[in-house]
Chain A
Amino acid sequence: MSGGFHIVVCGSLVPDPLQTLEPIEGPTGPALKNEMMLPAVLDPWAGHALFEAAELAKNVPDSKVWLVSLGPKAKLQQLMMSIAQKVSFELVAIDGSAGGFTDPFDVAATLADAIGKIDGLDRSKLLLFGGCASASRDSGVTMQMVAERLDIVDQFLAVDKLTVGDDGVLEILERIEAGQYQASSCDGAPAMLGWATGSLPEPPNNPQVGMMNMRTVMPALQRAQAAQVGIGGVQYAAVELPKQRRETRVVNDTPAEEIAQEIVDWLKA
């Protein structure tokens, strides 16, 4: 195909999954205890979207990747120290909350507004990428609303594979129920793809890529506009950790035959 894609990836940070999370009541609604201190990682599914975008851009000449990221500026800077070494992209940073309790409607408006202002972005070549859901809010709704605001009506969710034909036609595999895939074709860009795991491993760090990216990352962070993204119209009555702790019966020093029989009896009960 000719002309390449303009691939915009929406992705931000989430607390490292290994961290213990505790909700607190903040001044504007629920938040996480020590939220600004928690180590953060790139949202996993958005990360897969970024790696797939970079691979696609590598294989389709004249393509370009932007990463649009909404989060506290200081934390985005920390995140970029690791992400920027993985793949090439141009950062569009927005300074605001990346918390899970923000309203996706407002988040979508903020992201769409930032994408609309990207200098040189050709909407007819636009592939809008993101995770199929975040590891924070886990709604799986933001990307569709961003795409709607950008007038994109070809949308795909939980994508694991994208193949681009010589004619520019997109062939897409989306996860559906019971471990199956729905295969679709789309007559090219513009389109939105909310990625699941994809098929690529996390790229190794490449210091050269990091140095290239950092030339644009730091100015992008300095330029980052503040966005007032909060809980919007949501009224939270309670946010709690699950309290249930089970009394675990430990079966030790028991022959495998007895254990197997007990398990079978339990399965058949």
Chain B
Amino acid sequence: MEKILLLAHTQADGSLPKAAYESLNAALTLATDLGGAAVTVGLIGADVQAAADSITACGATNILAVSGEDFAASRYSTDTVAVEALVKEAAPTLVLAPTSSRFSRCLPGAAYRCDGRIETHIADIKVNDGAVQVQRWYYRQRMVATLARAQRPWFLVVDSGVFEPWQGTAGSAEVQALEVAIGDDCRRTKVIGVQTPDSDTQTIRPEAEVLFVAGAGWTKKQPDGQVHIKKAEELILGFINSGKASLGSSKSLVDQSSEGGEVISFMSHLNQVGQTGSTPRHPKGLATCCHGEEPHTVGWRFIGERRAISLDPNCGWAQGKADVLYVADAFEVIAKVNALLA
């Protein structure tokens, strides 16, 4: 019988991120599909009581924790030791965890230390004839594989947005704290802090309903023969703010900064979606001034409803990929959309 450990780490305020509740739901569903496998929760953070209280009704066999100041920050050396201790205590065959920058950094090394194997970017988990199978994408979301492993423990790092978050009543949880000794060799790295862009330029919003994708067309010559970068910036930011959207960019647009071209000032490689960027999950997506063929459009892969504005009716971003293609001038349309949203 499989035995499941669900790992989660707290955020700065002591709460769990939404992705942790999604992975908890995945773990509980998997346990049911396996005919009642035991689920243990393992928490990491400075103080995990509030997080444990929030999931006390989930039906986990027990809640383990590695906590304290050494585990407040996201740091490979200490996080790996924490995960190793939780796995040793729970002795799971399957370890589920949400995708986060913290877990993406430490779980591969932890899996190695536990003589386990790891799969990341899990897009689905199923039980087939009693065996666990997972689905993940290869070649940057261009093909999807269903696979299994015999090796245990098997770490499965679940992408956010794949499962619905677990919901339940908060209570008072009993937490089994594990004592983990940290040596000075684990403190060579010191986390200084988080650099947050100011509110005007914080354009990446994973929880947004809409992804707005800007293509290189925004920086090209317009019908008057001139480029209008400032106008483009104003329109894009206007939409992002009034539409409460997240901003994505095509590769060609962000590459202009390293090629010396005139650029959208608040756009960076962090905004890039697609082949060498991110593939975010949002219910809706609106692409503007994008062009390109299939390899570039993987940024769309996990967007629910998709619409595009382009002057090219045969645009590769849109034909067969979008639900609706508006053949129009994005400068003109977005200005009017912003006015309606204001």
Contact = CB atoms under 8 A, between A and B. Distances in A.
Interface of A: 14-15, 17-21, 23, 30, 32, 44-45, 100-101, 103-105, 108, 135-142, 144-145, 147-149, 153-158, 160, 171, 173-187, 196-197, 200-202, 233-242, 245-254, 256-257, 259-261, 263-264, 266-267
B323 A240 contact: no
Contacts of B195: 173, 180-183
The 8 closest A-B pairs by CB, nearest first: A179-B204, A260-B336, A141-B108, A201-B258, A144-B108, A197-B269, A155-B76, A176-B101
19 contacts: A18-B293, A100-B138, A141-B111, A153-B186, A177-B206, A178-B205, A179-B204, A183-B194, A184-B192, A186-B188, A187-B188, A200-B258, A235-B150, A236-B147, A247-B323, A248-B324, A249-B324, A249-B325, A260-B339
B206 A178 contact: yes
- Chain B, interface residues (CB within 8 Å), range: 35 or more
Given A17-B296, A197-B276, A234-B148, 12 more contacts: A21-B143, A100-B138, A138-B139, A139-B120, A141-B111, A144-B112, A155-B105, A182-B193, A241-B142, A248-B318, A257-B336, A267-B286
Interface string B106-144: 111101110001111100000010000100011111111
Interface of B: 74-77, 80, 100-102, 104-109, 111-113, 117-121, 128, 133, 137-151, 185-186, 188-197, 202-206, 209-210, 243, 258-259, 268-272, 275-276, 284, 286, 293-296, 301, 305-307, 309, 313, 318-329, 332-334, 336-337, 339-341
Given A183-B195, A251-B326, A256-B328, A239 B271 contact: no
B139 to A, nearest CB: 6
A63 B240 CA distance: 45
Nearest to B151: A233
Given A144-B108, A181-B195, A260-B336, A250 B139 contact: no
Contacts of B284: 266-267
Contact of B145 (A32, A148, A238, A246): A238
Contacts of A149: 112
Given A153-B186, A155-B105, A187-B188, A264 B322 contact: no
B105 A264 contact: no
A246 B320 contact: yes
Contacts of A108: 112
A242 B32 CA distance: 29
Contacts of B189: 154, 184-187
